[in-house]
Amino acid sequence: CHPLLLVVCFSQADEPVCRHRGDSENPQLSKNGDIILGGIFSLHSSWKTRQERYMHKPLPLQCTSLNFRDFQFAQAMLFAIEEINNSTDLLPGVSLGYKIYDSCGSIPRGVKVALALANGNEEVFVSSEEQCIQRAQVQTIMGETSSSPCMAIATVIGPFHLPLISHFATCACLSDKVKYPSFLRTIPSDYYQSRALAQLVRYFGWTWVGAVRTNDDYGNNGMATFIETAEQLGICLEYSVAVFRTDPPEKIRQIIDIIRDSTSKVIVAFVSHMDMDVLIHQLSYHNMTGYQWVGSEGWIFDSKTAAMDTHHILDGAIGLSIPEAYVSGMKEFMLDVKPLNSSGNELFTEFWEGLFNCKFNQSNLSVGNEKVCTGDEDITEIHNSFTDMSLMPIFNNVYKGVYAVAHALHNILGCNETCDSKRPLDPLRILQQIRQINFKTKEGDEVYFNENGDPAAKYEIINWQPTQNGIVDFVTVGLYDASLLADRQLILENKTLIWAQNSMQVPLSVCSEECPLGTRKVLQKGKPVCCYDCIRCAEGEFSNITDSITCERCPSEFWSNEKRDACVKKETEFLSYEEIMGSLLTGASLFGTCMTCLVACIFFRYRKTPIVRANNAELSFLLLFSLTLCFLCSLTFIGQPSQWSCMLRHTAFGITFVLCISCVLGKTIVVLMAFRATLPGSNVMKWFGPVQQRLSVVGFTLIQVLICILWLTISPPFAFKNFKQFNNKIIIECALGSAIGFWAVLGYIGLLALLCFVLAFLARKLPDNFNEAKFITFSMLIFCAVWITFIPAYVSSPGKFSVAVEIFAILASSFGLLICIFVPKCYIILLKPERNTKKNMMGKGPTKTT
Ligand SMILES: *[C@@H]1O[C@H](CO)[C@@H](O)[C@H](O)[C@H]1NC(C)=O
Ligand SMILES: *[C@@H]1O[C@H](CO)[C@@H](O)[C@H](O)[C@H]1NC(C)=O
Ligand SMILES: *[C@@H]1O[C@H](CO)[C@@H](O)[C@H](O)[C@H]1NC(C)=O
């Protein structure tokens, strides 16, 4: 027996030797021929669900909802067969026959009729010698329309290499030639369509969409690929729901609720037209307009669906359709339904009654206000989905499929003028031939199958544009060609698009508005990546693109502006002459300089007077000179620091101050010595005469000069940009280079000042009518106080203030010295000249100098 036959063999000769299990099935449409082609179409689109208890034999499937679409597909197949039979070029002398079954869109029934096609289903009576030997009935099967039945059928007939050529099963899963080796199709795989839809959605900037799919292989696989591609393109799904036409009403209502509660305005529907019809009904009932629909080829170019949409739910829909096609003569052939009626079986009575909306046998009905069928109804007078030719591209697919088989047979039979019909035909050879076929139909369509048994993927993008009379016009607005480079696949022509609710504006469907410049995205917890908040960039950061994920840091010399969308150069800060603090300090320093000069002039003018002579005129002038330098050296601290000014300021300060203190120290020692010199028997003055005084001043100063030279050569101070202290400004300051150098200079000054203070302190009580030691003590006290308070203030003041503090300390200590040491003398010189006598100087105490 043939491997596909499920037979029970009997021994009695008169009984049928071979009998099928199950009931025999007769094709709904058939015609004899030399070679028979099978066809499986869903002439009904649904069936009654029954709970089987298996108490008795289950009844055959009860099909419902006559489906004129698949009648059209069957007609298209018949047209192609007749055209081939008429032709003298293709298969001359060979007649093609057909057997067409109705699968009702049911998978089990599809498998059953596929087996019937493969094996023949009539009861076979054979003589006892020739037992159950029967050849395969059909050479190829055309169909089915939907993906799920195709998968089942292809699984069953695949091992026997019986080709199955579908015109409308688009599931990408069917491209798997390991699972479905004998499956071929004339419609592109959803692998391309899902991607194209995702690109279309991205093109219009919809990143927040809902998804509805048919709950079968077509919808589930198509949607899975769509979601995968959409994620890559940055599109987020708010929800994804599955619907099937046999679902109970509660389930459909749940779906409606989900859609109503959603915030996305775009719905991507990967559904078949049968499921869309169910959905539209419910959507209309709930008055759910205003959604932008994006559709797969399953319903988007179905004029029946458009006609059902009386509430204009789907107006403005956009989606992919199979490119327009036209096959001459097909429309006329299809509408000529007379030959179909002649077959006279039950199905065609139903078909005829459905088509013309009449009844043949009125007596069976109690209420009969319907028309009575005459059998001579005129098809030109009716308009329904059977007379609608909008699915011509799919009819063309059926047509191409039949021609592919015919071309393959033509090659196998070696047809030239005649065909060698003796040659054996087996499905495997036919399958191999079909897969290699490459021809053009009479309309110029190229037909071939790639290694997956799929044709080239080309789609038209169509837009549902409502017209005045309420009928929707499917306007082609673009093309999608998967064979082109990625960026050129999707092309939208410059045509006006009409969107949901007749809007001319592209609808917006995003979860969050795009983040403006100067902000960055922060994802919302637990929500998809398309939902985010926009957070302003922090100070010192910027973002100059919209929808930025991060804020960039400005380079170190820059800082972000107020809007945070660019970086601006940081302002630099240093103590300048222009600003108030700088100019005040400059003024103070110049004032000090002038005052010192004035004092010097007074001393010079009165240089002959005892008070000047008594107070060691040489040291006094040197002290005044060094004080002038001290006041002036504070100016080096003001202005933008540079390499030279940084090196100059500390060393100049250190040296002039040491010069200054050494003069004071010299004065103090002189006072001490002078007192000792008056004691009997001592001649100390010769130990500390003018020469020694000069030498000591020079010596003390040289030590500081040496410290400064060491500092400058080993690690000199340098100008330096401080980015750390403040974020938004650069402080230009002098780095110390070596802190040890700085503190050594300062420490040496401190040491001398301390020594001076101690000596002056010792000398303060000595009898002297003009006790210089007292003033020196006082001035040193001020000096030390100023510099001791300087240290913590200097360390803790930021930026330019530390410089100001230093200048202040320099000025304060200089003024201290100037005022304490010189002002009392000037007072006597100018205002009390009567006290400026040698007698007065000598009178009270033995102050004596050269
Ligand atoms: C086939 O030939 C017959 C007879 O010539 C004609 O009536 C019929 O229309 C033709 N069919 C097709 C599909 O060309
Ligand atoms: C449906 O919606 C339209 C516009 O949104 C409104 O005019 C109409 O009254 C609604 N119909 C029902 C039944 O709610
Ligand atoms: C077909 O016929 C032509 C002549 O009519 C002949 O030259 C050719 O060889 C034939 N081809 C085959 C495959 O028989």
In the predicted structure, residue 14 carries a pLDDT above the cut 60: no
pLDDT category at 469 given cuts 50, 70, 90 is: confident
By percentage, how much of the chain surpasses pLDDT 70?
90
Q: Residue 238 is encoded by which pair of tokens?
A: 């708010």
| Position in ligand 1 atom list of the atom nearest CA 79 | 13
For 626, other C-beta atoms within 10 Å of its C-beta total 25
In the predicted structure, residue 351 carries a pLDDT above the cut 60: yes
Whole-angstrom distance, CA of residue 282 vs CA of residue 245: 12
CA 13 and chain centroid, separation: 78
Q: Residue of the nearest CA to atom 7 in ligand 3?
A: 416
Q: Are 317 and 490 in contact (CB under 8 A)?
A: no
In the predicted structure, residue 13 carries a pLDDT above the cut 70: no
Q: Check if 414 has its Cβ closer than 6 Å to any atom of ligand 3.
A: yes
pLDDT: which is higher, 219 or 381: 219
First to last CA, the chain: 150
| Position in ligand 3 atom list of the atom nearest CA 416 | 1
Angle CA(486)–CA(490)–CA(494) in degrees, nearest 5?
145
Q: What is the value of pTM for the model shown?
A: 0.65
pLDDT: which is higher, 684 or 288: 288
**Mean confidence (pLDDT) of the chain:** 85
Whole-angstrom distance, CA of residue 125 vs CA of residue 389: 44
What would the mean pLDDT of 794-813 be, rounded to a whole number?
84
Q: Of 453-457, 757-761, 810-814, where does mean pLDDT reach its minimum?
A: 757-761
| 566-601 as b/e: b if 16+ CB within 10 A | ebeebeebbbeeeeebbeebbebbeebbebbeebbe
Q: Residue 671 is encoded by which pair of tokens?
A: 């006072």
Q: Check if 333 has its Cβ closer than 6 Å to any atom of ligand 1.
A: yes
Residue 201's closest CA among 232, 173, 176? 232
For 708, half-sphere exposure in the C-beta direction (CA atoms, 13 angstrom radius) is 21
What would the mean pLDDT of 642-656 be, rounded to a whole number?
88
CA 307 and chain centroid, separation: 40
Domain ranges of the chain: 3-50+59-188+328-448, 190-321+457-502, 519-569, 617-625+633-679+686-818
Q: Check if 22 has its Cβ closer than 6 Å to any atom of ligand 3.
A: no
Q: What is the pLDDT of residue 131?
A: 46
pLDDT category at 86 given cuts 50, 70, 90 is: very high
- pLDDT single digits (tens) 37-47: 999 999 998 88
Q: State the Cα torsion 652-655-657-661 to the nearest 10°.
A: -170
Question: Which residues have C-beta within 8 Å of that of residue 743, sequence separation ≥ 6?
Answer: none
Find the 437 Cα to ligand 3 centroid distance in Å: 20
pLDDT: which is higher, 577 or 344: 577
pLDDT category at 427 given cuts 50, 70, 90 is: confident
Ligand closest to 328 (CA) is: 1
For 833, other C-beta atoms within 10 Å of its C-beta total 12
- pLDDT single digits (tens) 668-692: 888 777 776 666 555 666 667 778 8
pLDDT category at 311 given cuts 50, 70, 90 is: confident
- Does this chain's domain 3-50+59-188+328-448 share its CATH topology with 190-321+457-502? yes
pLDDT: which is higher, 761 or 319: 319
What is the CATH architecture of 3-50+59-188+328-448?
Answer: 3-Layer(aba) Sandwich (3.40)
Q: What is the pLDDT of residue 126?
A: 54
Rama region for 653: left / alpha / beta (φ>0; ψ in -120 to 50; rest): alpha
Q: What is the pLDDT of residue 771?
A: 67
Q: What is the pLDDT of residue 124?
A: 54
Q: Check if 51 has its Cβ closer than 6 Å to any atom of ligand 3.
A: no
Burial class, 662, CB count within 10 angstroms (exposed 0-12 / middle 13-18 / buried 19+): buried
Find the 342 Cα to ligand 1 centroid distance in Å: 18
Q: Check if 713 has its Cβ closer than 6 Å to any atom of ligand 3.
A: no
Q: Check if 833 has its Cβ closer than 6 Å to any atom of ligand 3.
A: no
> Based on C-alpha coordinates, what's the Rg of the chain?
54
- pLDDT single digits (tens) 694-723: 888 899 999 999 999 999 998 888 888 888
For 254, half-sphere exposure in the C-beta direction (CA atoms, 13 angstrom radius) is 11
Residue count of the chain: 850
Q: What is the pLDDT of residue 220?
A: 93
Mutation probe of ligand 1 site: the residue of 31, 75, 78, 82 with most atoms within 8 A of C-beta: 82
Q: Are 817 and 772 in contact (CB under 8 A)?
A: no
- What DSSP state is assigned to residue 328? T
Long-range CB contacts for residues 446-455, cutoff 8 Å, separation at least 24: 447/186, 447/400, 447/403, 447/404, 449/184, 449/404, 451/177, 452/175, 452/176, 452/177, 452/189, 453/175, 453/177, 453/183, 453/184, 453/185, 454/175, 454/185, 454/188, 454/189, 455/185, 455/186, 455/187, 455/188
Q: Are 17 and 132 in contact (CB under 8 A)?
A: yes
pLDDT category at 849 given cuts 50, 70, 90 is: very low
Q: What is the pLDDT of residue 350?
A: 86
In the predicted structure, residue 342 carries a pLDDT above the cut 80: no
What is the CATH architecture of 190-321+457-502?
Answer: 3-Layer(aba) Sandwich (3.40)
- pLDDT single digits (tens) 506-529: 999 888 888 899 899 888 888 888
Q: Residue 172 is encoded by which pair of tokens?
A: 């990408």
Ligand closest to 420 (CA) is: 3
Q: Are 241 and 258 in contact (CB under 8 A)?
A: yes
Q: Of 267-276, 516-525, 618-627, 797-806, where does mean pLDDT reach its minimum?
A: 797-806
In the predicted structure, residue 288 carries a pLDDT above the cut 80: yes
Whole-angstrom distance, CA of residue 180 vs CA of residue 453: 10
Ligand closest to 288 (CA) is: 2
Q: What is the pLDDT of residue 11?
A: 43
Q: Of 322-331, 347-356, 471-480, where does mean pLDDT reach its minimum?
A: 347-356
